[in-house]
Structure 1
Amino acid sequence: MTAQTIRPVRAVPVLLTPQEVADMLRIPVRTLYGQRSAGRPTPPGVKIGRHLRYRLADVEAWIDEQFGRSAA
């Protein structure tokens, strides 16, 4: 094996469904969708085809950010 054939392994992000994010936030999934469509703060998500998905790391960072804002 040469250095040219070795590729670093890239970690696959954990993707969550809207229901899983709503469960984490302890809110109804309809509330999550409603806040997103109204332009209110929600965790960043991405459409994959017609499905909405969230990276676990992004949701956790968003939650931390919300607690930082409320403490200020």
Structure 2
Amino acid sequence: MNSERLSGLGLEPVLTTSELAEYLGVHVQAIYDLRTDGRGPAGMRVGREIRYRVSDVIRWLDGIHESQAVPAFGGEA
């Protein structure tokens, strides 16, 4: 089933643990460790596998995003 057909059904794509790890550039075990620690993205079990909705991964990434320090303007006079 392709992505166009899924979106036509109102379904969003999901990622496997391996696909998520590859996208993030980490080992699969890092994803499992994050989930075990309660710090990973929300997932759903489908049979014996875990799947991750793309929207949940984006929300998780936004939540862990470290903002850059913005230099203060108008320092000491």
Secondary structure of the residue aligned to 2:52 is: strand
Unaligned runs of 5+ in 2: 1-7, 69-77
State the match for 2:10 in structure 1: 11
Counterpart mapping for 1:1-72 below 5 A: 10-37=9-36, 39-67=37-65, 70-71=66-67
Q: CA RMSD in A?
A: 1.8
Larger Rg: 2
The TM-score with structure 2 as length reference comes to 0.68
**CA shift for structure 1 position 10:** 4.7
With a CA cutoff of 8 Å and minimum separation of 6, indicate the structure with the bigger relative contact order. Answer: 1
Secondary structure of the residue aligned to 2:45 is: strand
1:41 and 1:34 map into 2 onto residues whose CA distance is 9
**CA shift for structure 1 position 12:** 0.8
Secondary structure of the residue aligned to 2:39 is: coil
Moved over 2 A (4+): none
Identity between Structure 1 and Structure 2 (%):
31
